[in-house]
């Protein structure tokens, strides 16, 4: 086969590898507990000004720094006194993403205690706040209620429902001691190829504005009321300001272009509404507008947001977004602060950024007034959240903290079920719906009994889960379970048969299928074609057998479904419902009236060009059948030339190495042999120290297990001169016992080498995960393959390797 010889030079890699083997790991140290004492003041602004006047430059800057929980210790907190911190989508307390709720609360207390330890010289010690992405319920935490994603809430059109969801979410957040939610996303998604379309309520700015404001009120309480930011309420964030939903071709973090007034008339509309509702934080967006990144855009972050819109809360950056500003790096970016950013979200490189900011104030690059202004805004939000008062409590002593029974309480689950039912949009129905009581129902499709798939991205992990088990989802009802209960209660019988086979002919088959979870840029698509034909094939086989079908489509966006619709007797857009699958049965059986209406135009072709109007749509915004209502069932056009194009971006999937992709192996220590091409990515070429075997992930041998002996190397790449990022779905069964290095090799050149031992240790025993390798850690990837090198015996598994688009500046993640 092709490539191997020019892939790398073993000696160059060996040299680089030995240089990488001595990286030490950091250890965490915790600080003792102590209480805060802040001065009471009547006049909030005067109190804040007084505090600011008594702070050192170092402590002021620290208020503007937001690291993520796995990159600092309580000792760091005590020493530097960060103003806030976050858990990223892949971060959990003490390195455990699936930690029990009590561990989240323990970490909150530990960090709070460290933040308020008395400082010498009477300098004020200011309580830290913790921010999280509870974007559809408090879904980073195992056992919390998983509400439907925003696109589904948009289909309910019900602001009061969204307000109640905000309140329930805030309660669950407070249970775990967290203060601040990075939600609502008030993006107005205008190009459904964007991977964050599901985080958007609608393509209609007015609906986004209404529902975004409602979520803010639910999370924070009503401004001016007694319980504003009181018990069971948390700080909200409207994000991402602005233009996130308007990038060219729907590319995440990309370019927004056009007349600024016209852009504002769509993408800025939700912000005044959120500000009126009292939103205390606004997150800057990754995208640029007409060539200027929002994190460095003074005209918009300051003149428009502060000046025209009158926002007086804090502006937080997005994950290293400042590093994407022209002339900036992640650790050096006075430009963002000067443009109007108040808090830098700097997950890992906080130390370097903090040092530089301090130096830049000292050398006059940043005026002290700007620092004071930013700190004032941060303190103002803390003051309103009741954290600067004399009786500020530890997280575990506040409101509902520690009330673990409130996570997925019966009330919250009932609310989520109500939301699921209200969001079902029946697009076609020849009369098969509602299901006839007493019917014999077959439920098919791999997604039918899978909470992970029904929940989508931002569920336990950043990219979501494809598996479903009671350990990860202890408080959930799958779509199948909900259907079974309802059908049996109606006197019928229900059978789950993922592959659609049956002994007894059913009266009706329900086929549950859809998109696999994704988040952010990993969900970007080039078109709206749906290539997974599992659902289509099931629908076809039932049609052939003349068994009526109901298609239940799980997705984060409208997609081209003409082929599936032609086969089905009813078609329901179910979005990403989350933990309460019974809400779907409520609508299919007619127990709850169908009221869901599209908040996005549904396409009639697979191209995926922006479609934000009735003209050219298969179904316009506002469309949705009522219970019992039938629709004409014309045969829809099925031609889509895009579907026939082979996707060269896939290197390895379903156990197969794609044409043009290669996997090579060699031993780089001892008598180097090879590189040897791994035929179809299996086998154990002699002397190379690597053994590859088939491994079952979701289906038989749809993945590979790779056992690397000490000093061996595995390369994976493609012959294409592709420059895109790599995306791997991988699993690490056990922690590595020696250094693991990742190289980006080509033509005898090892390329950049990074030590990924810690990341592999972190991934160990966590199940399947996603790895994104971009230029940020790899340098230019054009024509470069990935090379895994291991110092000691190391085993890992790979299910998919693809090349994906990633906007400039996108971080590598594991």
Write out the residues near ligand BGC by the rule CB under 6 A: 86, 88-90, 133, 182, 239, 318-319, 462, 520, 811, 813
Residue nearest to ligand BGC (CB): 88
Active-site residue, from 520, 586, 722, 770? 520
Catalytic residue status for 520: yes
Residues 6+ apart with CB under 8 A from 108: 130, 176, 177, 178, 395, 396
DSSP letters for 97-154: TT--HHHHHHHHHHHHHHHTS--GGGPPP---EEEE--BTBSTTSTTS--PPPHHHHH
Interior angle at CA 184, CA 181 and CA 188, nearest 5: 155
Q: How far is the CB of 174 from ligand BGC (least distance, A)?
A: 19
- CB-based contact 313:380 (threshold 8 Å): yes
- Smallest gap, in angstroms, from Cβ of residue 248 to ligand BGC? 18
What is the per-residue DSSP string for 467-485?
---TTT-TT-B-HHHHHHH
Q: How far is the CB of 39 from ligand BGC (least distance, A)?
A: 33
Least distance CB 135 / ligand BGC (angstroms):
7
Strand order in the sheet with 84-86: 84-86, 129-132, 180-181
CA dihedral 533, 536, 538, 539 (to 10 degrees): 180
The tokens describing 395, both together, are 């997280």
Residue placing its CB nearer to ligand BGC in the complex, 129 or 621: 129
Q: Minimum distance from CB of 814 to ligand BGC (Å)?
A: 8
Nearer to ligand BGC, 490 or 774 (CB): 774
779 phi-psi bin (left φ>0, alpha ψ -120 to 50, beta other): left
Grouping H, G, I as helix, E, B as strand and the rest as coil, residue 790 is: strand
Q: How far is the CB of 345 from ligand BGC (least distance, A)?
A: 7
Minimum CB–partner distance for residue 218 and ligand BGC (Å): 18
Rounded to whole angstroms, the Cα distance separating 545 from 530 reads 24
Instruction: Choose the catalytic residue: 172, 217, 318, 515.
Output: 318
Q: Which is nearer to ligand BGC, 210 or 520 (CB)?
A: 520
**Nearer to ligand BGC (CB atom), residue 746 or residue 757:** 757
> Radius of gyration of the chain from Cα atoms?
27
The yes-or-no answer on residue 318 being catalytic is yes
Q: How far apart are CA 139 and CA 121, in angstroms?
A: 42
Taking each helix axis from N to C end, the angle separating 159-175 and 410-423, rounded to the nearest 10 degrees, works out to 150
Cβ proximity to ligand BGC, 60 vs 240, nearer residue = 240
- Angle at which helices 44-53 and 368-384 pack, to 10 degrees? 130
Nearest 5°: phi and psi at 758?
A: -65, -40
C-beta of residue 270 within 8 angstroms of C-beta of residue 205: yes
**Whose Cβ is closer to ligand BGC: residue 59's or residue 240's?**
240
Question: What's the closest the beta carbon of residue 732 comes to ligand BGC, in angstroms?
Answer: 16
Complex with ligand BGC: residue 146 or 425, whichever CB lies closer: 146
Nearer to ligand BGC by Cβ, of 84 and 790: the residue is 84
How large is the greatest C-alpha to C-alpha distance in the chain, in angstroms? 82
Residues designated catalytic: 318, 520
């Amino acid at each position: 086969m092709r490539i191997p010889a020019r892939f790398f030079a073993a000696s160059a890699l060996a040299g680089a590898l030995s240089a990488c083997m001595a990286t030490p790991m950091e250890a965490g140290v915790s600080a003792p507990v102590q209480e805060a004492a802040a001065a009471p003041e009547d006049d909030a602004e005067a109190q804040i000004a007084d505090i600011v006047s008594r702070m050192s430059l170092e402590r002021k800057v620290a208020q503007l720094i937001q690291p993520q929980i796995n990159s600092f210790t309580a000792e760091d907190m005590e020493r530097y006194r960060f103003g806030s911190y976050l858990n990223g989508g892949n971060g959990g307390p003490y390195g455990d993403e699936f930690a029990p709720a009590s561990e989240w609360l323990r970490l909150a207390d530990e960090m709070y205690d460290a933040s308020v330890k008395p400082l010498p010289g009477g300098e004020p010690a200011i309580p830290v706040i913790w921010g999280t992405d509870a974007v559809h319920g408090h879904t980073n935490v195992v056992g919390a209620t998983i509400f439907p994603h925003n696109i589904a809430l948009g289909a309910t059109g019900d602001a009061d429902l969204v307000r109640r969801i905000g309140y329930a979410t805030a309660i669950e957040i407070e249970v775990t001691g967290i203060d601040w939610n990075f939600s609502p996303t008030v993006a107005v998604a205008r190009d459904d190829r964007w991977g964050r379309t599901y985080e958007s309520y609608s393509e209609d700015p007015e609906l986004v504005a209404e529902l975004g404001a409602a979520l803010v009120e639910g999370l924070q309480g009503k401004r001016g009321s007694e319980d504003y930011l009181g018990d069971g309420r948390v700080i909200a964030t409207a994000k991402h300001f602005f233009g996130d939903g308007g990038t060219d071709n729907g590319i995440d973090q990309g370019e927004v272009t056009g007349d600024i007034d016209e852009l504002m008339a769509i993408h800025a509309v939700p912000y005044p509404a959120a500000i009126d509702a009292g939103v205390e934080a606004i997150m800057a967006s990754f995208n640029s507008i007409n060539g200027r990144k929002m994190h460095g855009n003074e005209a918009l972050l300051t003149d428009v947001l502060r000046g025209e819109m009158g926002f007086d809360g804090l502006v937080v950056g997005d994950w290293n977004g400042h590093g994407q500003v022209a002339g900036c790096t992640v650790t050096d970016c006075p430009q963002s602060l000067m443009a109007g950013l108040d808090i830098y979200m700097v997950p890992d490189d906080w130390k370097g950024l903090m040092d530089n900011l301090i130096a830049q104030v000292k050398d006059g690059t940043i005026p002290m007034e700007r620092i004071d202004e930013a700190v004032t805004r941060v303190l103002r939000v803390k003051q309103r959240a009741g954290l600067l008062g004399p009786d500020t409590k530890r997280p575990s002593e506040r409101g509902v903290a520690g009330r673990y029974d409130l996570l997925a309480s019966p009330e919250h689950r009932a609310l989520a079920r109500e939301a699921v039912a209200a969001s079902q949009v029946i697009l076609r129905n020849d009369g098969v719906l509602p299901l006839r009581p007493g019917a014999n129902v077959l439920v098919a499709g791999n997604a039918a009994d899978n909470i992970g798939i029904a929940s989508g991205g931002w569920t336990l992990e950043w990219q979501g889960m494809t598996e479903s088990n009671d350990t990860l989802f202890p408080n959930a009802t799958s779509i199948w379970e909900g259907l079974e209960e309802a059908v049996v209660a109606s006197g019928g019988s229900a059978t789950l048969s993922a592959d659609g086979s049956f002994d007894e002919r059913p009266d009706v088959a329900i086929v549950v299928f859809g998109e696999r979870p994704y988040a952010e840029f990993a969900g970007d698509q080039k078109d709206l074609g749906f290539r997974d034909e599992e659902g289509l094939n099931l629908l076809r086989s039932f049609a052939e057998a003349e068994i009526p079908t109901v298609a239940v489509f799980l997705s984060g966006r409208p997609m081209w479904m003409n082929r599936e619709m032609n086969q089905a007797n009813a078609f329901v857009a179910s979005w990403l419902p989350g933990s309460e699958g019974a809400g779907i049965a409520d609508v299919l059986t007619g127990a709850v009236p169908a009221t869901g209406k599209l908040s996005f135009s549904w396409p009639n072709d697979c191209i995926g060009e922006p479609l934000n109007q009735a003209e050219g749509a298969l179904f316009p915004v506002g469309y949705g059948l009522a219970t019992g209502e039938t629709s004409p069932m014309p045969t829809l056009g099925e031609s889509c030339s895009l579907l026939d194009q082979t996707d060269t971006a896939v290197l390895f999937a379903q156990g197969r190495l794609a044409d043009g992709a290669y996997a090579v192996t060699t031993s780089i220590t001892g008598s180097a042999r090879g590189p040897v091409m791994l035929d179809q990515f299996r086998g154990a070429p002699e002397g190379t120290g690597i053994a590859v075997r088939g491994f079952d992930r979701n289906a038989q041998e749809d993945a590979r297990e790779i056992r690397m002996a000490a000093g061996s190397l595995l390369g994976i790449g493609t012959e294409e001169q592709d420059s895109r990022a790599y995306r791997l779905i991988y699993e690490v069964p056990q922690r590595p016992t020696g250094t693991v290095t990742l190289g980006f090799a080509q033509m005898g050149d090892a390329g950049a080498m990074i030590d990924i031992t810690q990341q592999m240790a972190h991934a160990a025993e966590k199940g399947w995960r996603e790895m994104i390798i971009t230029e940020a850690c790899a340098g230019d990837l054009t024509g470069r393959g990935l090379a895994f090198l291991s110092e000691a015996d190391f085993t890992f598994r790979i299910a998919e390797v693809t090349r994906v688009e990633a906007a400039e500046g996108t971080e590598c993640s594991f």
